[in-house]
Amino acid sequence: MKHISELKRRYPKRKQPTPETRLKRACTRLMKQLGIFSYPVTQGLGCHPGLPDRVAHHQGRVIYLEFKAGKNRLSPHQKAFMWQCEADGVEYHVIRSVDDLEDALAIPTLFKNGPQAQPVSAGRHETGQGIGWYG
């Protein structure tokens, strides 16, 4: 019989997804179910620092989405990118829950009030205040 430590080395435990990864997956799933076109922004060597996690196209709008879970905050590069978007009148949202995504996309709150749900307001970022021309 093989030694347990050898087996653990060969077959490491699968890592659990982080809370942020779970949030990204839930939001991506919701956008897909609603037929909202979105795509991830890949990061890597030579990329502009501070780019958001995802871009969505919805009702003639291009929306940058940065996902943060728990007490995670924007990095200085991400803040600079957000401020540049604000200055240019481009939508940028920090998403901390599926409800935040519904607010950002101004879609009816599907799971709270049933079919009578009304669209919710858009334009909140991490401080809870509106940004740019639509806040």
Say what the pTM is.
0.70
The helix/strand/coil state of 66 is strand
What are the structure tokens assigned to 51, written together?
């780019």
What CATH code is assigned to 13-134?
Answer: 3.40.1350.10
pLDDT in tens, 76-114: 999 999 999 999 999 999 999 999 999 999 875 544 444
Phi, psi angles (nearest 5°) of residue 109: -75, 95
Confidence of residue 44 (pLDDT cuts 50, 70, 90): confident
Pairing of strands 91-95, 61-67: parallel
Cα–Cα distance for residue pair 63/80, rounded to 1 Å: 16
Cα–Cα distance for residue pair 131/85, rounded to 1 Å: 9
Distances (CA, A) of 106 to 11, 17, 26, 125, 127: 45, 28, 17, 14, 18
Cα–Cα distance for residue pair 38/41, rounded to 1 Å: 10
pLDDT of residue 127: 44
Cα–Cα distance for residue pair 75/63, rounded to 1 Å: 19
Mean pLDDT of the chain: 80
Segments making up each domain of the chain, as ranges: 13-134
